[in-house]
Amino acid sequence: MNFLITGSNGQLAKEILRELDKRGISFDAFDHKSLDITDLKSVRDAIRTKKPDVVINCAAYNAVDKAEEDWQNAYLVNGIGPRNLAITCEENNIALVHYSTDYVFDGLKNAPYTIADDPNPINQYGKSKLLGERFVQSLSRRYFLIRVSWVFGKGNETNFAKKVIEWSSKNDVIKVVDDQISSPTYAIDLAKATLDLIDTGAYGLYHMTGPQPCSRYEWAKYILELIGWKGTLIPVKSDEFKTPAKRPGYSFMDSFPVMETIGYNLAEWKDETKRFIKEIAGSR
């Protein structure tokens, strides 16, 4: 079996490549420079040349605030890119793995979102990701559509956990919102679960997150406790930060039927965060 990975420089892609290597599975990895997924001809050429059995799309436009003005590029990468992959995978009878986000929901439910809930994104980033979802579901039959939330890891990308650690090195007082609630998802665990899901052949839509929700504030507090920071952490409301893009307040997703399909759920967020802190400490 051979895999083709797009967006290979991202934190999740790097963990997928490591996991594939551990399992002795062959792969071809493409970053944005070597494969622009918004170009249908380039996608067709790459897939027809490499002849993968599975394509995992890790290429994404993740700048949530920037997408409010730069929405056309967000829609290109998050919408048209998945469309091109879905078309080409369907033409060649290839399985496609595509990642989406909890930001396809408006956050007004105040209860865990299930795969049966209707999306209603409230920012351009979420809308662009929903467009990609719709293309994948309408243009391909062999797909794994995986919604994730608050992904973090030690890769090159900026993520909230790394931001908190950076803030702690420069500030004695940190403010973090306590009215945004979801579930942190460790890239290492997500990579392993993705490959285990592919092995089942159970195509469809999945919410792949941990079993417990937390707020940004709760997560930051735990990170700062683990690294022994002695400053002051202040909980605030989202309105205090005038960001271009509105965020959903409660976007925690129910992970059914992940357990029922691969036999386990992702770890609880405190466990994931503790392992992450140990990992980055060991790499210094």
Active site residues: 125
Q: For helices 124-139 and 81-91, give the axis angle rounded to 10 degrees.
A: 10
Among residues 132, 128, 226, 247, the alpha carbon closest in space to that of 179 is found at: 247
Beta strands in 58-132 (DSSP E): 95-101
Distance in angstroms (rounded) separating the CA atoms of residues 68 and 78: 14
Residue whose structure tokens are 């909230």? 160
Strand 143-148 to strand 95-101: parallel, antiparallel, or no bridges (unpaired)? Answer: parallel
Terminal Cα distance for the chain, rounded: 35
Omega prior to 257 cis, within 30 of 0: yes
- DSSP assignments along 211-230, one per residue: SS-EEHHHHHHHHHHHHT--
- Give exposure, 136-154, as e/b (b: 16+ Cβ within 10 Å): bbebbeebbbbbbbbbbbb
Contact by Cβ (8 Å): 125, 131: no
CA distances from 38 to 80, 86, 122, 124, 236 (A): 6, 12, 24, 18, 39
